[in-house]
Structure 1
Amino acid sequence: MTFDTAQFGAMQLLAMFIKDRKIQNQSEHTLDAYFRDISNFIDFCYAKKLELKQVETSDLREYVAFRVEKDQLSSTSLQRHLTSIRQFMKWAEQGNYLAINAADDFQLKRQSRPLPGLIDIETINQIIDQAAPEKPKDKQLWLRDKAIIELLYSSGLRLAEIQGLTIRDIDFTRLLLRITGKGNKTRIVPFGSKAKDSLVEWLKINRIWNGEFRPESHVFITQQGNVITPRQIENRVKFQALRAGVNVDLHPHLLRHCFASHMLSNSRDLRAVQEMLGHSNLTTTQIYTHVDFDHLAQVYDQAHPRASSSKIKKSF
């Protein structure tokens, strides 16, 4: 038997839905988002004198257009709104409060992920190879910042990964780092000889600031011997770009993007880059494949029997 939603009222159904989700131990944040998103949709339906059982796909499209025009919602926010509505209406359908769930198959067209911004290797070299400051304290800070920038670019580390790096994580003999990434997943990544040189110089200062090395000691610290914070890393990376006269908003994640793009451009090995970045899904790594259209054209010219312009010219 299917109940008439008018008998309960849409808001009563929403209250029942939230109560059911609360029993399932969903977080208060999630419950608040459900209530806010679904209430907005119910208000829209009420303004149209539309009951939930009457909602069709065209109404959902109209609702999306309404939210974009009214609140300038991004694609991500719209997806979240629709997920809330979809969960609610699916619950109502399973409880026999709705006969037809128009939201079940309704999907927004997925927006393509924005390509990460890039800076070229010459600009990165300009930042890393700039002269050290003359004042001793400033020079010590520079040696630390240089080692951070070298590792971010050399190994494509995330901000949290470089902040959490400890002495025991570095294998200077084989030039390898043991990185603990998202979800406490561990991976091994290489680092370059120039990054090694920068690390060695910095660790001399680290020992002055922090005293005796211990395996669990953090690699990057402040002058007071405390673990450097993510915000401090971000600020120092930006500062060193400005000091080098580079007009770019440099941040740790941009250096990770550059690492991925430059590695992929030179190696053509998507799987290897995926492994070094710590991506669980190859699709995530594929956003970097945009960087090498020249190579793509070269492969096409070499491989396709009707691609080469020189071959075409010879036939005339």
Structure 2
Amino acid sequence: MARLRAALPPQAAEIVADYEDHLRDERMLSQHTTRAYVGDVVSLLAFLHGVNEDGADGPSAHEEHPDGEHSDGVNGLHVGVLRAWLARQHEAGCSRATVARRVASARTFTAWAYRRGLLPSDPGIRLASPRPHRRLPGVLRMDEATELMRVSEAGTATGHPVALRDHALIELLYATGVRISELCGLDIDDVDFDRRVVRVLGKGRKQRMVPFGLPSERALRLWLRQGRPEVATADSGAALFLGARGKRVDPRTVRRVVHDAVAAVPGAADIGPHGLRHSAATHMLDGGADLRSVQELLGHATLATTQLYTHVTVERLKAIHDQTHPRAQ
């Protein structure tokens, strides 16, 4: 994507840079979300100007200004171009979910460009978004989650600081259901041991307080007392979780830690940090938690997102019924 962005005409590249600043500084979107939105816009403008990676010209690559001069900005970006670009994504094998996300990206960009006076009208409002297929999230069974915590804790017997960190972050991920970006962004003073809650900065920079249990408290205290001081450096700052070189832990490390730990649980599905989030939500609902409480804990903007987890519990109940009830078949 960096190569494609570098190939954009100068005016289009400047527009992309302004849009990136808007997403990061005004809308305060996360680095991951900003990167995804900008990548989609780069793809769209490359298509518009005929600099696609496959070398094919976009349908409006030679669109001209009304005064006859060639435009290298967003002139000529109309709904027909948007639909042709999306059709190209579909032909390239993009999933319905990916196409739906790119429709949302295009709408966000064209609305911004219209407000900035770069477009005479907003063509994005005429785009229809395909409904993505919602897959049931992969989760651990409760006994598998228990075994995961046991396996993780067993690794701390060596007293190695990385093992202490790994156990603490796995315990906290499962106890709170926080997102991986939220976990990596935690500072030491975000943890309130007296009330046993952690202050989380979620999507849209919204703060919420999430409780954790006694096992997480024990793991966190052990990491902070014995593990963190061993790897902390002058560059560590206030970060709660550190990498082996003393800097704030990054999402790639957390994903590897979770995948490796889950692999040690016999029969468990291969899940990452988001799978632990799914598992936490499902197990809370299985235990009798109401949807609104789970929504607040997970930081979901809408209840519809949280309701996805009810399908997991219903499917599990149906499977148990089919296997055990004498009149099920």
Summarize deviations over 1:16-61 as a string: whole Å, max 9, x none: xx88x9599545866543334557899679xxxxxxxxxx99xx99
Aligned match for 2:154, one of 122, 132, 141: 132
SS of the residue corresponding to residue 228 of structure 1 reads coil
Structure 1 portions without partners, runs of 5+: 1-14, 46-55, 298-316
Tell me whether 1:120 sits opposite 2:150 in the alignment.
Answer: no
Q: Distance in 2 between matches of 1:262 and 1:105?
A: 41
Tell me whether 1:166 sits opposite 2:192 in the alignment.
Answer: no
Whichever residue aligns with residue 136 of structure 1, its letter is T
- Preserved CA contact (<8 Å) 2:176 2:280: yes
Aligned match for 1:273, one of 294, 306, 310: 294
Percent identity over the alignment?
A: 30
Q: Distance in 1 between matches of 2:103 and 2:266?
A: 44
Which residue number in structure 2 is paired with residue 148 of structure 1?
169
TM-score of the aligned structures, taking structure 1 as reference length: 0.64
Task: Classify 1:42/1:108 alpha carbon distance in 2 versus 1 (closer, same or farther; 3 Å).
Answer: farther
Whichever residue aligns with residue 158 of structure 2, its letter is P
Task: Classify 1:288/1:36 alpha carbon distance in 2 versus 1 (closer, same or farther; 3 Å).
Answer: same
SS of the residue corresponding to residue 116 of structure 1 reads coil
Which residue number in structure 2 is paired with residue 311 of structure 1?
none
Whichever residue aligns with residue 132 of structure 1, its letter is A
Q: How does 1:230-309 map to 2 (within 5 A)?
A: 230-245=251-266, 248-293=269-314
Q: How does 1:160-239 map to 2 (within 5 A)?
A: 160-206=181-227, 208-209=229-230, 217-239=238-260
Whichever residue aligns with residue 35 of structure 1, its letter is L
Deviation at residue 113 of structure 1 after TM alignment: 2.2
SS of the residue corresponding to residue 178 of structure 1 reads strand
Whichever residue aligns with residue 228 of structure 1, its letter is V
Whichever residue aligns with residue 140 of structure 2, its letter is I
Q: Distance in 1 between matches of 2:87 and 2:231?
A: 58
Which residue number in structure 2 is paired with residue 72 of structure 1?
93
Tell me whether 1:35 sits opposite 2:45 in the alignment.
Answer: yes
Deviation at residue 195 of structure 1 after TM alignment: 1.2
SS of the residue corresponding to residue 154 of structure 2 reads coil
Whichever residue aligns with residue 194 of structure 2, its letter is T
Q: Distance in 2 between matches of 1:123 and 1:273?
A: 21
- Preserved CA contact (<8 Å) 2:48 2:59: no
Deviation at residue 268 of structure 1 after TM alignment: 4.2
Summarize deviations over 1:102-161 as a string: whole Å, max 9, x none: x965624412322211111111111211262487354x4322211111110000011122
Q: Distance in 1 between matches of 2:253 and 2:147?
A: 22
SS of the residue corresponding to residue 247 of structure 2 reads coil
Structure of greater Rg: 1
Summarize deviations over 1:154-185 as a string: whole Å, max 9, x none: 00011122222222111212211111122222
Structure 2 portions without partners, runs of 5+: 1-8, 21-37, 51-55, 61-78, 319-329
Task: Classify 1:217/1:39 alpha carbon distance in 2 versus 1 (closer, same or farther; 3 Å).
Answer: closer
Q: Distance in 2 between matches of 1:200 and 1:65?
A: 50
Task: Classify 1:180/1:65 alpha carbon distance in 2 versus 1 (closer, same or farther; 3 Å).
Answer: closer
SS of the residue corresponding to residue 310 of structure 2 reads helix
Task: Classify 1:87/1:197 alpha carbon distance in 2 versus 1 (closer, same or farther; 3 Å).
Answer: closer
Summarize deviations over 1:247-282 as a string: whole Å, max 9, x none: 532311110111111112223411111111111222
Q: Distance in 1 between matches of 2:256 and 2:289?
A: 33
SS of the residue corresponding to residue 220 of structure 1 reads coil
- Preserved CA contact (<8 Å) 2:164 2:227: no
Q: Distance in 1 between matches of 2:42 and 2:244?
A: 43
Task: Classify 1:296/1:141 alpha carbon distance in 2 versus 1 (closer, same or farther; 3 Å).
Answer: closer
Q: Indicate the RMSD between aligned Cα atoms, in angstroms.
A: 4.4
Q: Distance in 2 between matches of 1:126 and 1:197?
A: 17
Q: Distance in 2 between matches of 1:147 and 1:199?
A: 5
Whichever residue aligns with residue 232 of structure 1, its letter is T
Task: Classify 1:68/1:160 alpha carbon distance in 2 versus 1 (closer, same or farther; 3 Å).
Answer: closer
- Preserved CA contact (<8 Å) 1:175 1:196: yes
SS of the residue corresponding to residue 188 of structure 1 reads strand
- Preserved CA contact (<8 Å) 2:179 2:273: yes
